[in-house]
Amino acid sequence: MKDDIANNMSEEVKLFKTWSTPYGLRVVWALKLKGIQYKAIDEDLSNKSALLLRFNPVHKKVPVLVHNGKPISESLVILEYIDETWKQNPILPEDPFEKARARFWGKFNDEKLIPSIWDAFSREGKEQEDAFVAIMENLKFVEEELKGKKFFGGEKIGLADLAFGSLANLIYVFEELTGLKLVDERYPLLSAWMQKFSELPIIKDNWPPHDKMIIKYQALYEKYHPTK
């Protein structure tokens, strides 16, 4: 009987993602943080399931959260939905200004920082150099935001930490593959945050495997930087 109830509970919440997508990962962390049972469906993006296409007809992307049959896409929108629907362990603060701050930095990660890292990863020559300059400027702002705080959310992790979160993993992959140091001694607060964040139990237990990440990004890197 208890198993049936547990199974029914986990039927209510489904998450479409891939094993590696950072956008799906942040939703996993939010669900784990709040102790929400869910069923994870890992998609093969070269062969999208009919269900995914039905639940996200506009973008056809992951992640998609389906709650009681109703789909929500866009990871930051999903995080807000999760926070409003399940009130335990809030990921957004009460104060409107602090909320605005968290949202601002979530957007910054997605719209500025990640694209600049991707540019540096996938471009060559002058374009790659310019991308590195952009990364450095972006990291400077992020470092500034961490002043006086343990996490972006303060004493506990919040929406901005979840948004920045995959950096704590991707940056090491990037540095290993390119041989370049991104988060060096110029960013002591960010370094410390990456350490503290990745050591949190729900984060540690829900990282994509490092070796698998290296293989995946190595292949991608070689695609963008073919040896002549």
Partner 1 sequence: MEEVKVLGSWPSPYGFRVQWALELKGVEYEYIDEDLFNKSDMLLKYNPVHKKIPVLVHNGKSIAESAVILEYIEETWPQNPLLPMDPYERAMARFWLNFVDNKDKAAPFVSFFIGVGEEHEKAAKEAKELLTIFEEQGLGEKKYFGGEEIGMVDLAMGWIAASLGVIEEIVDVKILDAESLPRLHAWVQNFRAYPVIKNNLPDHDKLLENYTKKREMFLASIAT
2, 4, 5, 70: which one binds partner 1 (CB under 8 A)? 70
What's the rounded Cα separation, in Å, for the pair 157 and 151? 6
What's the rounded Cα separation, in Å, for the pair 76 and 159? 8
DSSP 209: P
Residue 83 near residue 90, CB atoms below 8 Å: yes
Amino acid at residue number 55: F
What's the rounded Cα separation, in Å, for the pair 143 and 165? 14
17, 22, 27, 73: which one binds partner 1 (CB under 8 A)? 73
Report the nearest approach of partner 1 to the CB of residue 74 (Å): 5
What's the rounded Cα separation, in Å, for the pair 105 and 141? 10
What's the rounded Cα separation, in Å, for the pair 228 and 222? 11
Give the residue with the Cβ less far from partner 1, 103 or 196. Answer: 103
Residue 163 near residue 95, CB atoms below 8 Å: no
Report the nearest approach of partner 1 to the CB of residue 41 (Å): 19
Give the residue with the Cβ less far from partner 1, 159 or 203. Answer: 159
39, 54, 60, 107: which one binds partner 1 (CB under 8 A)? 107
Q: Check binding of 77 to partner 1 (CB under 8 A).
A: yes
Candidates 29-37, 41-49, 94-102, 188-196; binding stretch for partner 1 (CB under 8 A):
94-102
Report the DSSP pairing between strands 64-67 and 13-17.
antiparallel
> Which residues is 72 bridged to in the sheet?
65
Q: Which of residues 137-166 bind partner 1 (CB under 8 A)?
A: 141
Q: Check binding of 81 to partner 1 (CB under 8 A).
A: yes
Give the residue with the Cβ less far from partner 1, 40 or 93. Answer: 93
DSSP 39: E
Candidates 95-103, 156-164, 166-174, 208-216; binding stretch for partner 1 (CB under 8 A):
95-103
Q: Which residues bind partner 1 (CB under 8 A)?
A: 57-58, 67, 70, 72-74, 76-78, 80-81, 84-85, 96-97, 99-100, 103-104, 107-108, 141
